[in-house]
Chains A and B, each alone.
Chain A
Amino acid sequence: MSRWTLVLVLMLASIPLWVTSLYVLHILITTTIFIIAAMSLNLLLGFTGQLSLGHVAFFGIGAYASALSSLGFEVHLTDDLAIGIGPKPVWIALPIGMLAAGLCGFAVGKVAFRVRGAYFVIVSISFVEVVRLVAVNWVELTQGPMALNNIPPLTLGVPGMFELSFARKPAYFYLVLAAFMICYTVIRRLVNSQAGRAMIALRDNEPLAASVGIDVTRYLVLATVISAAMAGAAGALYAHYVRIVDPDIFLFIYTVTMVIMVITGGKGTLAGPIVGGAVFGMLPELLRALAIAPELQWVLLGAIMILIVFLLPQGIVPAMRSWWARRGGPPAPPSLLSPAPSPTLPRKRGREGWGKRGG
């Protein structure tokens, strides 16, 4: 861990000491959960280049699986056959949520990566719609639109000895902060490894990647599993925080929000989804605090989004990086973490067109 990372972590960890407003803490917690989700999406969208418009499905599956495990459930598959589990402690339920999302990621990845590009986008949208319909209609399991209520908060401890409750906001803030740091570390290690290079290679030039022996599908599925499990973890953390889950969790707008966070922050960079997530997690609240009429808030939010995409097509983080380099700061070495070429606005480069797909 470098010195700056340590300072940053200490600063973040000190937040509950000087932020006394529970409202602000609430915003920080939900924003951090959304940042985790955005980081997980970035692994797919930024590093493998696959646009998954169904990413919120993994978030929701994690939320539902964790909530159901902690509440317990029983469903009747036929008249005599019923399966169910009793309520599990939340610290077991959280990994179950993660696991369920990861398994779904594996299944979706295996099926969906037979196709690429627009077809993959359609498969991912269909997947989230199917999951949403199940959540609405399988009332026995999910309570449908009535929602899962009274989801228990996380408590750790030995019964009768001591108990550590994460029901209160400062404690929960530390929990999501820890989850955030774990996810960040996992992604950083991954993209700097053989696996991460394989993902970047297939994003940049799939035929060439295959020609040096990279099993493209294997690494796409790997990225999807890890990404889905991470989104599932974020969903589970969300469920035990707000303590209610309903099918609206699968709304398209949440996927779009994640995509916006990743793109505006800078896809294919480690810091991008963090910056994008922080901006778009807190901006709506900030605009509300300015006491602007609600209609105007949304117009402003939209305008800011469009401005960022137009002025900084690569995203905030790459733009800051090149601004820093121009200002005469130490030039950042070109690294594997350079952003993916933007599909809409081609980057200016010396030799336009060289080095694209060959074959």
Chain B
Amino acid sequence: MAAGSAALQVRDLSIRFGGLMAIENMTFDVREGEVLSLIGPNGAGKTSAFNAITGYLRPACGDIFYRGRRLTGLRPNAIAALGVVRTFQKTSLFSDQSVLDNIRIGLHLHSRQHPIAIILSLSSVRVDERKREAAAWDILRFMALEARAHELGSALPYGEQRLLEVAIALAARPKLLLLDEPVSGMNPAEKVRFMATLAKIRSQGVTVLLVEHDMRTVMGVSDRIICLNQGRIIADGSPKEIQSDPEVIRAYLGERARRADG
């Protein structure tokens, strides 16, 4: 795929919760190789868009394509198998398993072990297990979590739990990675560390769609930003353009100023 061509195409997407229009006629592209951020006030429909793209939510109408393949109607695991992998807004990991096992679970798509081969403990399965173990350590080192390998997921400090979530998603070998507020709850040092990690991830050729409230992070890592308000796209452009867009300031920052006043 040439850089710059559309990896993900969202066309006329609408999502309804009962009478509430969460997203209305949303159309946008994520280009191959870019980091695109979705921003907007709470309730703007960012996470709903995520859920629709990754199959957790059935849109009322509209279509979503990834590299020409239709995602609408597919189940989350089938979408992940196409290389579209997400993280969750609320910390979500296998908290009673060790960090290493979290990654091993994430490596599910690497290969398939046939149940009969497992039961007979064929050498193919044993070789595959060793490969997975090595791949898991590679990912732990990539995310600088290797010192934590044998700790339980729930025992990690919060910032590292969030890194572990990204590590689990990376284990699924995403070509398009969707991160839902990855730095929320991180302290400034952790945020800096995360931004460096994100740069490393994109240097591996992974396209990133990011939902984030933390403006410093968004402005720092994004190639392009789409701003949503009340289920609609109100602006689309580079970080610089977005920062100076009057519509954005009114909808997003203006609302914040009001909130700060009140």
Using CB atoms and an 8 Å cutoff, list the residues of chain A in contact with chain B. 186, 189-190, 192-195, 197-198, 200-201, 204-205, 207-216, 222, 226, 333-336, 338, 340-341, 349-351, 354-359
Contact = CB atoms under 8 A, between A and B. Distances in A.
A358 B90 contact: yes
A211 B88 contact: yes
Contacts of B106: 212
Q: Which 8 pairs, one residue from A and one from B, show the smallest C-beta to C-beta distance?
A: A358-B92, A355-B95, A358-B90, A358-B88, A213-B80, A210-B76, A213-B109, A212-B172
Given A193-B118, A205-B94, A355 B154 contact: yes
A358 B179 CA distance: 13
Interface of B: 51, 54, 56, 75-78, 80-81, 85-98, 101, 104-106, 108-109, 111-113, 115, 118-119, 121, 125, 128-129, 132, 150-155, 158, 161, 168-169, 171-172
A204 B153 CA distance: 12
Contact of A194 (B88, B95, B96, B108): B108
A209 B75 contact: no
B88 A207 contact: yes
B105 A210 contact: no
Contact of B108 (A186, A207, A214, A341): A214
A230 to B, nearest CB: 11
Nearest to B89: A358
A194 B101 contact: no
Q: Which of B51, B86, B108, B121 has the most CB of A within 10 A?
A: B108
Given A204-B95, A338-B96, A338-B97, A210 B108 contact: no
A334 B104 contact: no
Contacts of A359: 51, 56, 88-90, 92
B80 A201 contact: no
A200 B97 contact: yes
Contacts of A205: 92-95
A355 B92 contact: yes
A50 B76 CA distance: 21
Nearest to B120: A189
